[in-house]
């Protein structure tokens, strides 16, 4: 077995590091086909990690078809372990790194998720979801055995239609498609609106999993710099004048991830004019919508869903586990999206949609939002104060969202910072993850809900 060195400062947990190193060793022929792997106990002792971590890495490699578990004997390198590098398209390697990053966030480890994109569960528990789930399950009409309907649970779509109307977005309930979260919405839009090789616009920095989804589908991404009041429209206009013809622009009007910034009215109008003149569609990802007011500038209420496709969901304010999101779009596009949804996931869970409906209609959701907004606002104030005392530079003024995008006073590379943070017990995604080309970056995304004395102490030392 080749020597294996785990990095104690890596933001990745040991099992993921080990899995990647062993995967490389197998693919590069350093571990011969048919050879027996070190025992779980021996390797755990050698590396100073838990046996569980080694077992998890071996199981992952078995799932990838690289190891063969033999009952009572151990794990063996598969004879015909086809190197996945050749078995899968090359562009997957880059997106799998992002998958590992997300895994570090969602899997249990001892790191405090200071860079997380979500609020801690303690902040959401006031909704008492368990009670709502039990009450929906107890109803005679609860759908737990059969497929739901194509567009999704109709009463929930009616409620969403009313909520959108309050934001000035007029559409019918038939123009709303329920999805299994915003990731599913993005995936459906990419599949329905783009062909391989099309150019799409993305914001830089922007949401890293969007970049991965676009990579997976073979799209060419053109970055538009994000500024504190929205995308840099001078830069966009000069690209368009230079002949760029994008199919879509994936952006966020409100509480943008990772910068927390929101679009100004003047930019909203100018952006819609550019979309009209150069014939592209804007996907407005409004996942942080419920933290903002109904009157905030949203492209969809200026445009009436002509050039804009609107998406949002409940991962940030109700549950990221229940997986409920939605798309509102012009009727013809919505029909296409609904048909593709039928193909790739048949339906979404009607039972869960009934639970979200129950929360929205009987669950004091508005009161919950008021409390969340208050806590997030207080978090913004105190975290900003702390960062400013420590000399950090922030990207945008205080917002209603959970993020602060900021730079270390000495401009230190955020990958190094993320590694140092992991060694001290804190999880951050390096700023480079938010760049479509993974360029080195000195910026880090802080989540204001994770302001602890330990984080404060660490920040004052770096």
Ligand X SMILES: Cc1ncc(COP(=O)(O)O)c(C=O)c1O
Q: By CB under 6 A, name the binding residues for ligand X.
A: 117, 181-183, 207, 252, 257, 285, 287, 313, 315, 320, 325
Nearest approach, Cβ of residue 356 and ligand X (Å): 12
CB nearer ligand X, residue 320 or residue 336? 320
Nearest approach, Cβ of residue 158 and ligand X (Å): 21
Distance CA 43, CA 55 (A): 10
Distance CA 287, CA 388 (A): 28
CB nearer ligand X, residue 287 or residue 296? 287
Q: Which residues pair with 325 in a beta bridge?
A: 179, 313
Nearest approach, Cβ of residue 271 and ligand X (Å): 17
> Max alpha carbon distance in the chain (Å)?
68
Length of the chain: 462
Closest CA to 360 of 219, 158, 87, 207: 158
CB nearer ligand X, residue 54 or residue 156? 156
Contact 427, 105 (CB under 8 A): yes
CB nearer ligand X, residue 66 or residue 176? 176
For 290, other C-beta atoms within 10 Å of its C-beta total 23
Contact 41, 70 (CB under 8 A): no
Nearest approach, Cβ of residue 263 and ligand X (Å): 14
Assign residue 181 a region: left if phi > 0, alpha if psi is -120 to 50, beta otherwise?
left
CB nearer ligand X, residue 61 or residue 255? 255
Nearest approach, Cβ of residue 183 and ligand X (Å): 3
Q: Which residues pair with 179 in a beta bridge?
A: 325
Contact 448, 403 (CB under 8 A): yes
Nearest approach, Cβ of residue 169 and ligand X (Å): 18
Contact 346, 172 (CB under 8 A): no
Nearest approach, Cβ of residue 8 and ligand X (Å): 28
CB nearer ligand X, residue 287 or residue 406? 287
Element (H, E) at 257: none
CB nearer ligand X, residue 23 or residue 312? 312
How do 248-251 and 281-285 pair as beta strands? parallel
């Amino acid at each position: 077995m080749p020597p294996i060195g785990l990095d104690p400062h890596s933001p990745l947990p040991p099992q993921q590091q080990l899995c990647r190193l062993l995967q490389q060793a197998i693919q590069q022929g350093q571990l011969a086909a048919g050879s027996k792997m070190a025992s779980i106990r021996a390797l755990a002792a050698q590396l100073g990690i838990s046996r569980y971590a080694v077992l998890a890495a071996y199981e992952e490699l078995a799932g990838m078809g690289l190891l063969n578990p033999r009952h009572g004997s151990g794990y063996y390198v598969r004879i015909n372990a086809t190197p996945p590098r050749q078995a899968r398209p090359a562009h997957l390697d880059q997106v799998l790194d992002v998958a590992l990053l997300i895994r570090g966030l969602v899997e249990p480890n001892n790191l405090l998720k200071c860079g997380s994109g979500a609020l801690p569960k303690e902040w959401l528990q006031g909704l008492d979801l368990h009670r709502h789930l039990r009450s929906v399950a107890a109803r005679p009409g609860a759908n737990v055995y059969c497929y739901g309907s194509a567009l999704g649970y109709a009463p929930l779509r009616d409620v969403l239609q009313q909520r959108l109307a309050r934001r000035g977005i007029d559409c019918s309930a038939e123009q709303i498609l329920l999805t299994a979260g915003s990731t599913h919405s993005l995936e459906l839009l990419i599949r329905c609106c783009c062909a391989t090789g099309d150019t799409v616009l993305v914001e830089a920095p922007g949401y890293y999993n969007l970049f991965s989804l676009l990579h997976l589908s073979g799209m060419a991404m053109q970055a538009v710099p994000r500024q504190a009041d929205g995308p840099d429209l001078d830069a966009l206009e000069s690209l368009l004048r230079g002949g760029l013809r994008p199919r879509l622009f994936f952006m966020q009007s409100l509480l943008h991830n990772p910068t927390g910034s929101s679009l100004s009215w003047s930019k909203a109008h100018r952006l819609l004019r550019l979309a009209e003149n150069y014939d592209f569609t804007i996907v407005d990802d409004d996942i942080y919508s419920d933290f903002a007011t109904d009157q905030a500038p949203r492209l969809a209420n200026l445009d009436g869903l002509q050039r804009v496709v609107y998406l949002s969901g409940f991962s940030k304010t109700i549950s990221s586990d229940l997986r409920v999101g939605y798309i509102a779009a012009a009727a013809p596009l919505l029909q296409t999206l609904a048909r593709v949804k039928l193909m790739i996931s048949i339906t979404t869970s009607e039972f869960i949609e009934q639970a979200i409906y129950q929360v929205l209609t009987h669950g004091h959701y508005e009161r919950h939002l008021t409390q969340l907004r208050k806590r997030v606002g207080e978090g913004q104030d105190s975290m900003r104060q702390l960062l400013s005392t420590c000399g950090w530079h922030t990207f945008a003024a205080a917002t209603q969202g959970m993020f602060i995008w900021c730079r270390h006073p000495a401009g230190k590379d955020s990958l190094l910072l993320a590694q140092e943070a992991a060694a001290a017990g804190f999880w951050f995604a390096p700023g480079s993850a938010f760049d479509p080309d993974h360029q080195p970056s000195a910026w880090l995304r802080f989540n204001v809900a994770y302001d602890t004395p330990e984080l404060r102490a660490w920040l004052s030392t770096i």
